[in-house]
Amino acid sequence: MIRQAGLMLAAALAATGCHPSRGGHAAAGDLSVTHAVIPAPPSTAEASAFLVISNGGASDVALTGALTPAADSVLLHRLVGGLMQPSAPLTVPAHGFVKLGPGGYHLMLEGLKHPLAVGDTVTLALQFGSGAAIAVRVPVLNYTDAVSELPLR
Q: What is the mean pLDDT of residues 99-115?
A: 96
CB 117 within 8 A of CB 143: no
Which pLDDT score, from 0 to 100, does residue 139 have?
98
DSSP string covering 44-80: SSEEEEEEEEEE-SSS-EEEEEEE-TTEEEEEEEEEE
Whether the pLDDT of residue 11 is over 60: the answer is no
> Strand 46-55 vs strand 96-100: parallel, antiparallel, or unpaired?
antiparallel
Burial of 88 (0-12, 13-18, 19+ CB in 10 A): exposed
Determine which helix (DSSP H) or strand (DSSP E) holds 125, and give its type and residue range.
Answer: strand 121-128
Residue 27 and residue 134 in contact, taking contact as beta carbons nearer than 8 Å: yes
Mean pLDDT along residues 102-110? 96
Q: Which residues contact 51 (CB under 8 A, 6 or more apart)?
A: 23, 24, 33, 34, 35, 36, 37, 99, 100, 107, 136, 138
Whole-angstrom Cα Rg for the chain: 16
Q: What is the pLDDT of residues 126-147, one digit of tens each?
A: 999 999 999 999 999 999 999 9
Q: Is the pLDDT of residue 16 over 70?
A: no
Candidates 134, 89, 108; CA nearest to 49 is 108
Residue-wise pLDDT for 37-68, tens only, equals 999 999 999 999 999 999 999 999 999 999 99
Distance CA 112, CA 130 (A): 28
